[in-house]
Amino acid sequence: MPPRDETEQRRQQIIDGALDAFARLGFDRATNRDIARAAGIASPGLIYHYFKDKTDLLYQVIRERMPLVPIVDAVERLGDEPPEVVLPRLGERLAQALDQPLTVAIGKIVMGEVLRHPQLARVISEIGPGRAINALAAYLARQMELGRLRRTDPQIAARLLIGPMMSYFFSREVLNQPEARAIDARTMAAEAVAHFLRSMAPES
């Protein structure tokens, strides 16, 4: 039996190979042979020593390589600092993540496959977006209770905050719109947060 460090190294090697194969070929078209070749391993069957199936492998690719996951973790740890402090900081981190090549690669994989594979949408939501929205909604609800934000449905408010950045990413990376590509991600995030804070200012 290989040492633990060697086992983990091989597992990470397969994850990187899968990311490459999925990005180039798509989830459906990428075979175990394609993944093994990209990972630099001799036997495609070795993949199943580390992962239950291809869906499990995709889950791990997203969980361990998606730069947005640390942001989700940060959202879940939001304290009670006021929104004008917390949200610009969150927007900056989101902008940085959306500019990373790994986010672009995984985002294209996800957008290309979720309509054909609804189970992947559930997996991905559990890893990132669903968790992030719920954690952000909980933070916004607390701020509404403290009188720092206008009262409304916190789930709607969370989507109003994150939605513009997701739309920007989709139009920039999937639709390849020149107008979207000309907009800096940090500028987009700062404007989205500023508009949100103005629209959610407490009613006098």
What's the whole-number average pLDDT of the chain? 88
Single out the residue of 31, 183, 193 nearest to residue 39, CA to CA.
31
Q: What local confidence, expressed as pLDDT, does residue 150 receive? A: 97
Please report whether residue 30 resides in a domain.
yes
Q: Is the pLDDT of residue 1 over 60?
A: no
List pLDDT tens digits, range 87-136. Answer: 999 999 999 988 888 888 888 787 777 777 777 777 777 777 778 888 89
177 alpha-carbon distance from chain centroid: 21
Q: Are 58 and 27 in contact (CB under 8 A)?
A: yes
- The residues near 106 (Cβ < 8 Å, ≥ 6 apart) are 19, 23, 61, 62, 65, 66
Distances (CA, A) of 113 to 4, 31, 51, 110: 33, 15, 20, 5
From CA 43, how far away is CA 47, in angstroms rounded? 8
Q: How far is CA 65 from the centre of its chain?
A: 10
Say yes or no: 118 and 180 in one domain: yes
Last-in-domain residue among 63, 81, 114:
63
Predicted pLDDT at 199 = 97
The answer to the question of residue 33 being in a domain is yes
Residues 119, 179, single domain; the answer is yes
| Whether residues 124 and 189 fall in one domain | yes
- In this structure, are 95 and 157 located in the same domain? yes
Q: Are residues 133 and 42 in the same domain?
A: no
Question: What per-residue confidence (pLDDT) applies to 2?
Answer: 52
The reply to whether 101 and 166 lie within a common domain is yes
Count of the separate structural domains present in the chain? 2
pLDDT of the residue at 7: 86
Same domain, 16 and 99: no
* Residue 204 domain-assigned (yes or no): no
Clarify whether residues 100 and 192 are in a common domain.
yes
Q: Cα separation of 96 and 62, whole Å?
A: 17
Instruction: Determine the structural domain holding residue 83 and report its residue range.
Output: 66-199
Q: 83 and 17, same structural domain?
A: no
pTM above 0.85, yes or no: no
